[in-house]
Structures are given as C-alpha cells and as structure tokens.
Amino acid sequence: MADLLIELFSEEIPARLQSSAADNLQKLMTNGMVEAGLTYASAAAFHTPRRLTLTVEGLLDASPTVFEERKGPKVDAPEQAIQGFLRGTGLSMDDLEIRDDKKGRVYFAKITKPGRPATEIVSEVLEAIICNFPWPKSMRWGSGSLRWVRPLHSILCLLTSESECEVVAVEIDGIVAGNTTRGHRFMAPDAFIVKSFDDYEAKLKRANVILRAQERSDLIWQDATNQAFALGLEVVADPSLLNEVSGLVEWPVVLLGQIDDEFLGLPSEVLKTSMKEHQKFFSVSNPKSGNIECFVTVANIETVDKGVTILQGNQKVLSARLADAKFFWENDLREAKAGMVGWQASLENVTFHNKLGSQAERIQRITILARELAISVAADPDMVEAAARIVKADLSSDMVYEFPELQGRMGRYYAIEAGMCMDIAIACEEHYSPLGPSDDVPSAPVSIAVALADKLDTLTSFWAINEKPTGSKDPFALRRAALGVIRLILENDLTLPLLSVLGRANKGAGAEDLLVFFQDRMKGYLRDRGIRYDVIDACTAMPGNDDLTLLIKRANALQQVLATDDGENLIQGFKRANNILNQAEAKDGVEYSYGADIKFSESNIEKDLFTALDSAEAKIKATMATQDFTTAMAAMATLRGPIDAFFEAVKINSDSELIRRNRLNLLSRVKKTCLAVADLTKLEG
Amino acid sequence: MDTPKSFQEIIMRLQAYWSENGCAILQPYDMEVGAGTFHPATTLRALGPKPWAAAYVQPSRRPTDGRYGENPNRLQHYYQYQVLIKPSPPNLQDLYLGSLAVIGIDAKLHDIRFVEDDWESPTLGAWGLGWEVWCDGMEVSQFTYFQQVGGHDCRPVSGELTYGLERLAMYVLGIDHVMDMPFNDPSAPTAMKYSDVFKQTEEEYARWNFDVANTDVLLRHFEEAEIECEHILSQAHIDPKMAKKIIMVHPAYDQCIKASHVFNLLDARGVISVTERQAYIGRVRALAKKCADAFVQTAAGTA
C-alpha cells in the first residue's frame, strides 16, 4: 500500500474557480487510476490561491495482473479472420488453444495483462489530466503551449510507502515534478522538501499557509465576530463573500476598521454593496440601531506593525469609494427632491431593446396596463398609475448607474424624498419581485399591480417580436417573468383571466401561444408543490383555464380527493361508466346524454344512484357557483358507494331496450357529474 | 529603499528599474490614447513571434472621467506606466513585486494581492487573463497575460503590466487629493504640485469634453479616420517608388487610434446611444483587426 500526494503550484487562481478545480482534480485522478486498476482507500483535495492539492491513501503498489480468455474464430475459418484475431489479441498462432465447441473446433486465446507499478500509472494519468484540465477559462504563457488557469510553476508528486518516498516521474511542458513546494509568498517564500501529506500540511502551516479552505473561513469568521463582539457590534453574515475571501488568502489576518463618520448617513444598502463589491469587506453593524458602522477586511499577511499600515490603507481606499457614493447619493437626492422629472425624461434616450423602443416607451405601456390591472388587485388606479410612472426612474440615478444591483432599493429612498406616499415608494422596490422561485412575493396592492404589469409587458413585448425562449436559451429571462406572474396571481389569490390580460397588454403577442407557455410554467410550479402531472392535465382541460387561481383550486381539490379511498374508487367507477357509455355510443351511433328516468329503475340499488345523483348534483351546482371545488369534489365522492353498488348489482345490457337506454343515460349523468370539476379522463391508472 | 518624495521620482525609479531589468525605455506615443495599451509598442508588438521588451510612460485620456480637477481621484488626463515583455518571463510576478519595492512599497508591511481580473478591450479585439494587483485594498496595477490581440492568438504570450501612476504615487506619497501631490522635489526652489501643472487643464478639457466639443466635426473626424485607415491598408504591399514591400501598418494604426479617441469624445458629449455604442466600438475593432492582420505580414510581425 502507498499514499500519493500531488500539488499543482501556480500563480494566483481566481477564488471562484478553486473549489471546483480541486474537486475535478480528485475526481479525474482517482477515476483515471481506478480505470487502470489502481484502487485506493480514501482521497481528499484542497485548494489555496496558489495550489491545488490531492492526497490519496491506501493506493495499491501496482495494478493487479489480469487474465482474460477470448473466444476466436473456428479452426476452419478463413485465414483473414484468424489473422484478425491474432492482431486483436497480440498473440501468435502458437499461443492459441484449440477447444471443442458446440459449433466445432474453435481457437481460444489466453491473454495475460501484467500489472503495472503505481508510479507508471500515476505519472500517465496525471500528465493526461494536467494537459486536459477542465478549466472554464484557461491561458497560455511565455513560449509554452500548456494551458492552465494561470501560469503553472511546479508539480509535486510523491508516492510514499512505509519504506520509501518516491518522486513520480512527470514532465509537462518543461515542468519536472519534484518533492518540494513553497510557503507563503511573502512570509515564507523559500522552497522546502516534503515527505508525506501530514508532513506537507504541517510544514505549510509553519510556512504560513493554511491548506484547508474550511479552516481558513472558520478562522476568518471566528476572529471577525470576536473582534466585532468586543466592540458590541455584529458582523453581517455573507457566506458567499466569506467563501470568496477565504479563496484570496493563504494566511488570513482579520482587521476591523471604522467607517468615517461623514459616510454613516448613507443608506446601509449602499455601504454594504460598495464595501462588498469594490473592497470585499464585511459589513459590521450596531445591533442597537441596525446601522453599519465598521468593516472587516481580511489581509493575507502578518506584519510587524500588526496590520496598522494595511488597515490605514484600506480605510483610505474605502473613504475614496464612499466619497464617490456620497457624491452620487447627494446628487440623486437633489434630483429626487425635484420630483425625478429629469430622470424620467432621460429614460427616453435609453434603449430598452432596439425593436421595443426606449425605457420611457416601455414605462408608458406598463403604466397603462398597471392602471387596468388595479381593479383586479383592489388597488387605487390613480396611485398605481403614479407608481408605475416612477418605479424605474432610479435607473437614471448615479447610484444605480454605479451599483445596478441597487435598482429599486434606491428607487424607494428617492420616492420618499420626492414626497410620494409609502405605497408608491414600496412599489419602487417591490415591483421587480419575485425574481426567483424562492423570492418573496409582494402583497401590497400597488406593488402587485405594477409588478404584474412590468412582467406582462416584458413577456408580451418579446413574444410580439418573436424573441421566445428556446431550449436553454432565455436571454430576456422570460421564464422567470412568467413564473413571477404565476406566483403573484396565486400567492395573492387573484382572479385574473390571463387570456384577456395578455391580449390587452399587447395585441400582437399571440395570447393563445403565450398562454401555453404560461401553462407549461404553471405545470412546473404545481409539480414543485407535489401536484401530480395528470391532475394538472385534468384541470387544465377545463374551461377558464387561463384563470390560474381557479386552476390551482381545482387541482388542489382533485389531488385532495384522489388521496382518499372514496376518491380513488370514484375515479374507477367513473372510468367504467365512461368506457361502457363510449362503447355503447360508438356501437349504436347515438349519444346517450339525456332523459334517464327513475321510473324505469328495476331495483332499489338503481334508484339509490338516481337519488344520490340528485343530491350530489344539487350540491355541486351550488358549490361550483362559489368555486368551492373541495366541497364539490367531496359531494362527488359520495357517489362512490352508489356507483359501486350499481355496477355490482345491475346489468346495463338489459333485454329491454328501453331499460338499457335508460341505464346508459344514467351513466351519462354519472359522467357529466363527475366531469364538473375536472376532466377525469386525463387521469392515469 | 527610502520613500520617494515626488510624482516624478516614482516615475524615474520605475524607468530605472525596468531599464535595469532589460526593457527598452520608450517614450510616450505622440497621439491621444485612452490607455498605454494603445501605444503600438504594445498593441502591435504583442503580435508575431519576435521577442520584445519595452517600458514607457503613456499620457492617457478618458474624457468621461473629467471632474474639473475637483475629484480627489479622477482625471480626464492621467499617466500610465506600461511594461510589455514577450515572451512573458517565468518570474514576471517577482519582477513586478521588485518594481513596487523600488518605489517604496515594502511587501512585508503591506498586503499585496493578485485578484482575478480578466482583461478585455472590445475596441482592440484583445483579451488576456491576469489580475488587478491590490495593495492594502487599492488597485495599483493591471497584470495581464495577452491571449489575443486584434483577433490574432498571441504566440508567444506577452506579459503586460499597467500602473495607474497618479493613484499609485498618491498612495506611496500619502496624498489624499491628486492635486496636492508634489510633482517635483518639494524642497526644490520651484516646488510644483500636480495642481500647478494640471488643475487648469483639467478644467479646460472638462468643459470642452462635456459641453463644447463640436459633435458634427467629431463625427466627421471619426468617419475620415475610418476611411483613411482602410485607404492606407488597401494599398499594394510593394511601394512603386522604392520598389520594395512597405506595408503601412503604423500610419493605418494611427487612424485607428484617432477613431477610438474621437469615439471617446463623442461618448463624453453624450451623443452616442446605448445601441449605437456597440456599433461604434465594432467599427474601431474592425480597424484594429485590419491593422493586426497587416502587421503580421511585416518584418516586425514575422519570424
């Protein structure tokens, strides 16, 4: 048994690529070795800004010898076939054995594949992996032809067993593998020899490199929260930033600094975004006020002055950045207080899409649509119109130009400064929502109206110019917009027949086609909520299927009743009735749809079905009027007993044609009643 | 190494350092450019197989960044220090760190970091991978391994270093507002600050760039430069008078630079819409690409 240690040492690897690269190194290397017969006990990969490391334990010293027997052609087969077999097996005529087979005498080849030493296999697999590594973006350097994410400087490749420690012979584009690595770029730059993984990790730590990313991020987080705690403050959690920062350092040193007083008046979103995007700083807030007061930066070095110079420098850079932000904020406030007219006007010069005109034209469309939708969402039309006119004004602001991700957020601040009411200010922020499937859905009426109009305009406009999503391509995020509309309608329980709304939004959009797109999204949405796809089909087949709230009520009711014993049996009864009826209608060439009369009943069981239908139909009719599908389905489910009893006791094909027809007409009543809520014929099973 | 005292001392130390490390110290290109990369000593010399090592200061103009000399960090005219070495040497990172040391940045006291930044110039049809180099959280340089220029693969690959001189110098000298930075030695009989040299020009150019530049004239200049560039490159390679091959790449490339700068001026005047923007950039790129195509047929661009 042997242990393998590989380190690929390069110039700084982008933080966002490190972890998947380490995973790939492990996966490709272990797969390659196993394919070559070299099994192992365990493996783990690590990454720092300058190295990808793989350790494999319990590796075979050599791949096992493999014996293989292969059946060849018959002895009297044409010479060509025999020669081909020899070529394929790499043997000569004398090596072949002749055996009796069912079909006659046949050649057999016994092939022995001798095992190969681990060093040979490791060297081969590693060279192939380095030359074809799946970097999302790679580069050449100098005069070489090797591609790596940044210039690759050295390769460490060691096989260690109890008795010895051997460098595996690997050479790629002039880089010869060895048994040395280097420590921290500035704190311990000299090369040193390593003997095993444990030795490697320990020596790296002495040379100011923490190999494990998790260890680095734990250390950063712990130290940051401790320092903040000592000041009565809290670090604002940001896992993605923590992840990134731990990929930028080999020796993390946490430094906490203060934000200059003159910037503390900036909105916390601005402080957070500016510090994170530009400087990769964590925000530190005062839990009493919720304000951001300090920052945490993570340096990659310990200095004799305990980081004082570094912190001063960072503070200075931050002040310059925030001075910019403050300049933008103050400019923007002036414009906001003046009513944002200039911003609205300048949106006339901003192209939304070259076939769809300017942002201003788009806002005009959204405003008209939002006003029309106001009634359906119980919002004040005038307020909705006022909101729609300004919700995108902040796109012209300096702050949003600098930080596009603050769109809407800034709009809210500016609307308040402009003296708008809170509903409008909130709509500025919320009308983009929901962005993703887990995003919160606005519930304020004005926000709902504008959010719907915004998304519906996007959808119908791009539909009208035939820019529909295809396959994985959805450059205008239309699927997201449709899902947003669905969630706005459903989670706010809105009655909004889509077909007419889509037609009103844009006559050229092809509302029918777009509705199908919506229904596909709707299916996904319902599936994610555990609704069976055949239930969705059964409900989509009903009239009024462009009213999504109606659709989901139906689907929920049907799914609920299907989960009960009565429900499931009712479906069976319905299907039986439907089949018999269909066959009879096909055979007789008539439609049995009317006139079942209780007076032709021959038994109480048959009469019971009539009475049960009478009572169920009345209930269904009443409950359907209020769209109470659950009660309707429950009423329907009560038919299960009478239907089952009817099929058990009554023969449809009576000798009397009159009675037969009456019974078929009765089945037709069963069918009609059962189809009141959903098209049960679409159900499976 | 002691700390430099003035802006010019930092420049001179960089010149001396890169001279000692084997670069030809060139002078600025005599045309308006947006960045040191536009100098033909970078753009064109990054092409082809011949080794190259050059360093130079390049005055650079970004009309939209003008703030009338009032913003502490923004200027419409500033200096870049540019180094281009082909093929990129294996110790380029160390060489670069050495250059920071000579201007007084002690790597044991500061936090120097190589942060991912993939460089792309849509106007030059060029891209490369590398980093922005951070010193205590401030970007002090751009470090790029050129992969393509003018649509041509770079073989061998050049290493390009670009230092934003004002920002770097302000940091080294501990200055908060660029205009307060000593230009020459503060103890000189005529001690001059950055403002003594550039405050007035920043105001003048900002006003002209934003409000006065005649956009009709600029639009015409753009078209003329474009036409002239294509005209130059369409000439037969053999000069009839000298009876030898003279491909006029550099004169053509001058027109490309001119078009690029005129575009920047038009942009500052706010007369280019978002959609037109892409089209203009595409037109300049087409010129750059043609120049690159021509350069690789010249003596300097071939083996």
Chain B residues in contact with A314 by the CB 8 A cut-off are 136-138
Q: Answer for the pair A410, A328: CB distance below 8 angstroms, yes or no.
A: no
Q: Please tell me which residue, A595 or A304, carries the higher pLDDT value.
A: A304
A581, A632: one domain: yes
A427, A510: one domain: yes
pLDDT at position B271? 81
pLDDT at position B233? 97
Chain B residues in contact with A12 by the CB 8 A cut-off are 113-116, 131
Distance from CA of A357 to the nearest CA of B (A): 11
Highest mean pLDDT among A111-125, A325-339, B243-257: B243-257
Looking at the domain assignment, is residue A539 inside a domain? no
pLDDT tens digits for range A236-281: 999 999 999 999 999 999 999 999 999 999 999 999 999 998 899 9
Q: How far apart are CA A368 and CA A500, in angstroms?
A: 15
Q: Answer for the pair B199, B179: CB distance below 8 angstroms, yes or no.
A: yes
Domain edge (last residue) among A148, A176, A206: A206
pLDDT at position B258? 97
Taking only residues 619 to 658 of chain A, the set having a beta carbon closer than 8 angstroms to any beta carbon of chain B reads none
* Percentage of chain A modeled with pLDDT above 70: 100
Identify the domain containing residue A450 by its residue range.
343-531
A260, A393: one domain: no
Which ranges in A114-164 belong to alpha helices (H)? 118-131
Residue A301, chain B, CB below 8 Å: the answer is yes
Distance from CA of A313 to the nearest CA of B (A): 5
Looking at the domain assignment, is residue A338 inside a domain? no
The whole-number average pLDDT for the span A437-446 is 92
- pLDDT bin (cut points 50, 70, 90) of residue B275 is low
Q: Are residues B109 and A305, on separate chains, in Cβ contact within 8 Å?
A: yes
Q: Please tell me which residue, B235 or A606, carries the higher pLDDT value.
A: B235
Distance from CA of A298 to the nearest CA of B (A): 9
pLDDT at position B107? 94
Q: Are residues B136 and A141, on separate chains, in Cβ contact within 8 Å?
A: no
A487, A402: one domain: yes
pLDDT at position A508? 77
pLDDT at position A189? 96
Give φ, ψ of A353 to 5 degrees: -160, 140
Chain B residues in contact with A281 by the CB 8 A cut-off are 137
In this predicted structure, the answer to whether residue A654 has a pLDDT above a threshold of 90 is: no
> Using CB atoms, which residue from A248, A309, A327 is nearest to B110?
A309
A320, A440: one domain: no
Q: What is the CATH number of the domain that holds A662?
A: 1.10.730.10
pLDDT at position A421? 94
- pLDDT bin (cut points 50, 70, 90) of residue A401 is confident
Q: Are residues A349 and B155, on separate chains, in Cβ contact within 8 Å?
A: no
pTM of structure: 0.79
pLDDT tens digits for range A483-515: 999 999 999 999 888 888 888 888 777 888 899
Nearest CA in chain B to A353: B275
Instruction: Kindly state the tokens that stand for A653.
Output: 């094909």
Looking at the domain assignment, is residue A337 inside a domain? no
Buried b vs exposed e over B146-181: b needs ≥16 C-beta within 10 Å? bbbbbebebebbbbbbbbbbbbbbbbbbebeebbeb
Looking at the domain assignment, is residue A544 inside a domain? no
Q: Where do we find the tokens 């970004």? A: B62
Largest CA distance in chain B: 63
Q: Are residues B89 and A142, on separate chains, in Cβ contact within 8 Å?
A: yes
The whole-number average pLDDT for the span A363-386 is 94
Q: Please tell me which residue, A647 or B91, carries the higher pLDDT value.
A: B91
pLDDT tens digits for range A197-234: 999 999 999 999 999 999 999 999 999 999 999 999 99
Residue of A139, A277, A395 best to disrupt the B interface, most CBs of B under 10 A:
A139
- pLDDT bin (cut points 50, 70, 90) of residue A102 is confident
Amino acid identity of B173? L
A380, A526: one domain: yes
Q: How far apart are CA A75 and CA B95, in angstroms?
A: 73
Q: What is the CATH number of the domain that holds A424?
A: 1.10.3210
A394, A507: one domain: yes
Return the number of CB contacts < 8 Å for A and B. Answer: 105
Distance from CA of B234 to the nearest CA of A (A): 33
Q: Please tell me which residue, A684 or B238, carries the higher pLDDT value.
A: B238
* DSSP assigned state of A563: T
- pLDDT bin (cut points 50, 70, 90) of residue A285 is very high
Specify the number of domains making up chain A: 5
Residue A305, chain B, CB below 8 Å: the answer is yes
- pLDDT bin (cut points 50, 70, 90) of residue B128 is very high
In this predicted structure, the answer to whether residue A81 has a pLDDT above a threshold of 80 is: yes
- pLDDT bin (cut points 50, 70, 90) of residue A602 is confident
Q: How is the beta sheet containing A42-48 ordered, strand by strand?
A: A42-48, A51-59, A2-10, A152-160, A165-167
Looking at the domain assignment, is residue A557 inside a domain? no
Amino acid identity of A615? S
A161, A235: one domain: no
Which range is least confidently modeled, A164-173, A184-193, A398-407, B269-278? Answer: B269-278
Task: Kindly give the pairing relationship between strand B24-25 and strand B52-61.
Answer: parallel
> Using CB atoms, which residue from B71, B110, B145 is nearest to A141?
B145
Looking at the domain assignment, is residue A232 inside a domain? yes
pLDDT tens digits for range B207-220: 999 999 999 999 99
pLDDT at position B274? 65
A48, A145: one domain: yes
A525, A570: one domain: no
Domain edge (last residue) among A175, A206, A237: A206
Average pLDDT, chain A: 91
- pLDDT bin (cut points 50, 70, 90) of residue B18 is very high
pLDDT tens digits for range B141-172: 999 999 999 999 999 999 999 999 999 999 99
Domain edge (last residue) among A311, A331, A351: A331
Q: Answer for the pair A149, A10: CB distance below 8 angstroms, yes or no.
A: yes
Distance from CA of A269 to the nearest CA of B (A): 21
Distance from CA of A279 to the nearest CA of B (A): 6
Taking only residues 137 to 166 of chain A, the set having a beta carbon closer than 8 angstroms to any beta carbon of chain B reads 137-143, 149-151, 153
In this predicted structure, the answer to whether residue A150 has a pLDDT above a threshold of 80 is: yes
- pLDDT bin (cut points 50, 70, 90) of residue B1 is low
pLDDT at position A447? 96
pLDDT at position A685? 67
A56, A178: one domain: yes
**A453 SS3 class:** helix
Looking at the domain assignment, is residue A548 inside a domain? no
pLDDT tens digits for range A665-680: 888 888 888 888 899 8
Nearest CA in chain B to A250: B113
A355, A453: one domain: yes
pLDDT at position A594? 78
Looking at the domain assignment, is residue A537 inside a domain? no
